[in-house]
Amino acid sequence: MGELVLAGAGHAHMMLLEAIPDIIAKGHRVTVIGPDAHHNYSGMGPGMLGGTYRVSEISFPVKSMVESRGGSFVLGKVARIDPHKHLVILESEKEVPYDVLSCNLGSYVPNVIADEGSVDIYPVKPIQNLLHALMRIQEIGSKRPVHIGICGGGPAALEIAGNAWAAAKGQSRFGFRIQIFAGGEFLHNLPDRVRSLALKILNKRGIEIVQGSYVERVATGRVTLQNGQEYAQDIIFLALGVQPPKVFADSGLPIGKDGGLAVNRYLQSIAYPEIFGGGDCIWFETEPLDKVGVYAVRQNPVLHHNVVAQLEGRSLMQFDPGGSYLLIFNVGGGKGILHKNGLSFGGPLAFWIKDYIDRKFIKRFKVHAS
């Protein structure tokens, strides 16, 4: 019998969560650690902000999914891993022993620009922040014009701006203003055609893009750029890129350039064969991977196979990241922008395809709480 511990219950662990009864039937024990009884599906987070989805539609009741399948769920946050004693140590100092450990701890938005104690500043992860922001947009918007600032110039900033527009529009008795503080050129990593589709939609909606100077600081009600310009805001989103949690560095485990758990082709720590990982929290040694849910989803069968194989002394399988992936951005108001290889288009059909794929993923893995 082996002790399998799953740290985090995100996208990359969905097949493992599904397989808990089979793993237990093989004589092992399964413990899942998570900071919340629910896990929100980030691909639909912006749609929740924009009012397309209710929170119940985008969340997995992970605690009940684990317990109804015979596993144990430990509510808490992983602080460190002791790879020599085979222990996961939680922030509460509780220790969880493992024979094999798989880490799916996601990523966070480093918040180094906000003044301490500031309010109404919302990093785009964790996804619950978007729900709190929506409630504030509705509250402020019911009394006066609401001013919304988005710091960041990538896809997350695009999706948040489009859906903040949808949220504010639903509350538009007093009007509203939305500004994106993109730093350098907005969406500079995306193909020209995708960028021009995005600009067209944002321009049509009156969303302003401020480029040419990075954000220096944010504080309650204010964005300050490096060039000294100040902009008054009610709600500020931070969409400044994500990075893996510090758990691995704090544990002395080998990490990659971004601080993610360094793993080999088997999604296995390069130093400790009984530790695996997937999703945004890893550094895949073979080739750096974008921080997108697509890879977390593709890693599911490999993590599933490999952690059980490691428990049973069988051979591991390699992870193949695969070729290019389908990109669809939800830009709010029932519209999307789709890009795959040379094809790009925007509009309701693009959103419809994203909505179909996202709902299918939720339906496949969700087990309703009893």
Return residues touching ligand FAD (CB under 6 A). Answer: 7-12, 33-36, 39, 42-43, 45-46, 77-78, 104-106, 124-125, 156, 159, 245, 247, 279-281, 291-294, 296
**Nearest CB to ligand FAD, comparing residues 50 and 183:** 50
Question: At closest approach, how far in Å is the CB of 130 from ligand FAD?
Answer: 7
Question: At closest approach, how far in Å is the CB of 263 from ligand FAD?
Answer: 13
Q: Give the span between the Cα atoms of 245 and 277, in whole angstroms.
A: 13
Question: At closest approach, how far in Å is the CB of 107 from ligand FAD?
Answer: 6
**Nearest CB to ligand FAD, comparing residues 224 and 247:** 247
Task: Supply the angle between the helices 155-169 and 192-204 in degrees, to the nearest 10.
Answer: 20
**Nearest CB to ligand FAD, comparing residues 48 and 224:** 48
Q: Is 271 helix (H, G, I), strand (E, B) or coil?
A: coil
Q: Give the span between the Cα atoms of 203 and 54, in whole angstroms.
A: 28
**Nearest CB to ligand FAD, comparing residues 142 and 286:** 286
Q: Give the span between the Cα atoms of 9 and 38, in whole angstroms.
A: 9
**Nearest CB to ligand FAD, comparing residues 138 and 243:** 243
Question: At closest approach, how far in Å is the CB of 30 from ligand FAD?
Answer: 15
Query: What number of CA atoms fall less than 13 Å from residue 168's CA on the CB side?
Result: 24
- Backbone φ/ψ region at 325: left (φ over 0), alpha (ψ -120 to 50), beta: beta
Question: At closest approach, how far in Å is the CB of 140 from ligand FAD?
Answer: 21
Question: At closest approach, how far in Å is the CB of 360 from ligand FAD?
Answer: 13
Burial (0-12, 13-18, 19+ Cβ within 10 Å), 295:
buried
**Nearest CB to ligand FAD, comparing residues 224 and 261:** 261
The helices-and-strands tally (H runs, E runs) of the chain is 11, 23
The answer to whether the beta carbons of residues 263 and 285 sit under 8 Å apart is: yes
Strand 100-103 to 282-284 pairing:
unpaired
**Nearest CB to ligand FAD, comparing residues 12 and 167:** 12
- Nearest alpha-carbon partner for 98 in 366, 310, 338: 310
Question: At closest approach, how far in Å is the CB of 222 from ligand FAD?
Answer: 23
